[in-house]
Copies of this chain bind each other. A is one copy, B any other.
Amino acid sequence: MRITIIGSGNVATHLAAAFKNGGHRIVQVYSREIQNAALLAYHVKAEAIDRLQDIDPETDLFVIAVKDDAIFSLGLSLAPYKKLTVHTSGATALTVLSSIMPNSGVLYPLQTLSKNKEVDFLNVPLCIEGPDEQTTRILEQLAQTISNKVYRINSAQRKVLHLAAVFACNFPNYLYEVARRLLDKQNIDFELIRPLILETAQKVQENLPVEVQTGPAVRNDENTMKMHLQMLQDEPGLQMIYELLSQGIIKNTKDGH
């Protein structure tokens, strides 16, 4: 397929590379910042553009990988080309595109993607949605050229998946940063705690999280929790996080989940 990438952020970068590796041709990369477009375009041997009027109509697929609130207006600009057009957002319904063009879909990679971190895209779960069976099948076949984990997920499910991903990825990553800062204040190297972070994630690859919960809260070890709250007395925000998450663990344990 001839593919045009709209956007140059984390998702655009990884999807463009995955399509390229999957044997497709990236025609153009569009970004409002020509430097950003140029950098990604260079990596995938495409043309960089920063004006929508420069779009090459000779393409088979537009991939809109931009901030959620820019999807609709870009969709309006691309609709006249009458090409298959997908967005890549977890939080945005298919109807945002399908209401303005017949030939649209969603291709949502359920993975944390950073430009500076390579990822094995074949193992990235790809959630697809189309407006009808025919388009869904086209998207499915396309998705299977870049990932071995393709799922049909409707807009309502995708919204929940995206929310769950915030809890399973964005928030844990923030808590890693909190841990790093606490250690840093005592000149303890973050390296010491990296194996713990990895093992915590590896444990739930085979088990359910509730089965492998450890720590003071699941033991209802009140003395330790009290001591931890005291240690955080200069950080009221962290105290509240500590208290809320501990209460959640205690409640889960009591409920016998």
Contact A67 B219 (CB under 8 A): yes
Known: A175-B168, A197-B201, A242-B166. A112 touches B208 (CB 8 A): no
Which residues does chain B contribute within 8 Å of A174, judged by CB atoms? 209, 213, 217, 245, 248-249, 252
- In the complex, whether A113 has a CB less than 8 A from a CB of chain B is yes
Q: Which residue of B lies closest to A165 (CB)?
A: B196
* Chain A contact residues, majority secondary structure: helix
A224 and B194 CA atoms in complex are apart in Å by: 31
Binary flags per residue of A169-202, CB closer than 8 Å to B gives 1, else 0 = 1111111111110110110101011111111111
Q: Which residue of B lies closest to A124 (CB)?
A: B195
Contact B194 A209 (CB under 8 A): no
- In the complex, whether A58 has a CB less than 8 A from a CB of chain B is no
Contact B231 A177 (CB under 8 A): no
Contact A160 B177 (CB under 8 A): no
A74 and B204 CA atoms in complex are apart in Å by: 34
Known: A176-B204, A252-B177. A163 touches B125 (CB 8 A): no
Q: How many residues of A contact B (CB 8 A)?
A: 97
Q: Which residue of B lies closest to A213 (CB)?
A: B173
Quote the shortest CB–CB distance from A194 to chain B (angstroms).
6
Known: A110-B192, A214-B112. A209 touches B167 (CB 8 A): no
Known: A201-B197, A216-B166. A173 touches B209 (CB 8 A): yes
Contact A179 B165 (CB under 8 A): yes
Which residues does chain B contribute within 8 Å of A172, judged by CB atoms? 171-172, 175-176, 197, 200-201
Which residues does chain B contribute within 8 Å of A249, judged by CB atoms? 170, 174
Quote the shortest CB–CB distance from A157 to chain B (angstroms).
6
Contact B117 A207 (CB under 8 A): yes
